[in-house]
Amino acid sequence: MRIAWKLLTAVAAVLVSASMAGAQTMKVGANIGNVPWEFQNEKGEFVGFEIDLMNEVGKRLGQKVEIVNIPFQGLFAAVQSGQIDAAVSSITITAKRLQSVSFAQPYYDSDQSLTVTKASGIKDLAGMAGKTVGVDTGSTGDMWTTQNQATTKIKEIRRYEGLNPAMLDLAAGRIDGYISDIPALLYYVKDKPQFAVIERIKTTEQYSVMFAKDAPLATKVNGVITEMKKDGTLAKIHKTWFGTDPDPALATAKVLDMPKP
């Protein structure tokens, strides 16, 4: 009996060890401070739409999720080098990016926007002529503003690592406007009456999870996102952070293909 008990104990220990070894950790890079996608709450915890998304993805894949705080521009090198397994931060799928990284199917449709202080008197994008605008370094807002600087007659572009420092400079008058993703700004200004999102800039962007080029994990995560759309989990996350159900015709609810170069 003693021998049998020892054998059973040894087998159990091996099984537990194997189970622990199989429980991989998925390292997910995110630019913390990107409200409402990923930011810190009053307890210092990482929260947000994409935090909920990736925690659910990890749960369904049987993996622990570790969020790694990385400035937006650094996310691209981090996935390509293997420092992280995936990245989120309202990352837009673009043809150029698809040459060097892979994406799961999109889960959010967006545009850019211009935010100003109400006291500035600026009413639209045309009012930015001769003025200074802030953007997030390397973002699609940065790309759009740089490409359209001549036509908009914006005098200077200043680059920031996230929304919070840009909005602090906007409030202090160090920049005249801030161009960034419209959902983040609408969420940010809803309880800050000194600011106003005054123009939607149509760019038809779609956000997704980014991976190293052709990483097998991309296909796995894509399948989980399909499940989350079909069973309504992604719609619940949308309602948690934006207060509304997603449009059934848009990427948060509609199952889509993985983007290809």
* pLDDT at position 19 over 50: no
Predicted pLDDT at 171:
98
CATH architecture of 2-107+208-242: 3-Layer(aba) Sandwich (3.40)
Residues 6+ apart with CB under 8 A from 194: 117, 118, 119, 171
Query: Domain 110-205, what fold?
Result: D-Maltodextrin-Binding Protein; domain 2 (3.40.190)
Predicted pLDDT at 37:
96
Residues 6+ apart with CB under 8 A from 81: none
Predicted pLDDT at 23:
56
> Model pTM greater than 0.85?
no
* pLDDT at position 17 over 80: no
Residues 6+ apart with CB under 8 A from 62: 22, 23
pLDDT tens by residue, 209-254: 999 999 999 999 999 999 999 999 999 999 999 988 999 999 999 9
The DSSP bridge pattern shows strands 86-88 and 25-30 to be parallel
> Which of 18-32, 87-101, 154-168 has the lowest average pLDDT?
18-32
Mean of the per-residue pLDDT values of the chain: 91
Percentage of the chain beyond pLDDT 90 is 86
Predicted pLDDT at 1:
47
Boundaries of every domain in the chain: 2-107+208-242, 110-205
Report which of 78, 109, 66 is spatially closest to residue 211, judged by C-alpha positions. 78
pLDDT tens by residue, 104-129: 999 999 999 999 999 999 999 999 99
* pLDDT at position 80 over 90: yes
pLDDT tens by residue, 44-61: 999 999 999 999 999 999
Predicted pLDDT at 21:
40
Q: What is the DSSP-derived secondary structure letter of residue 44? A: S
Same topology for domains 2-107+208-242 and 110-205, yes or no? yes
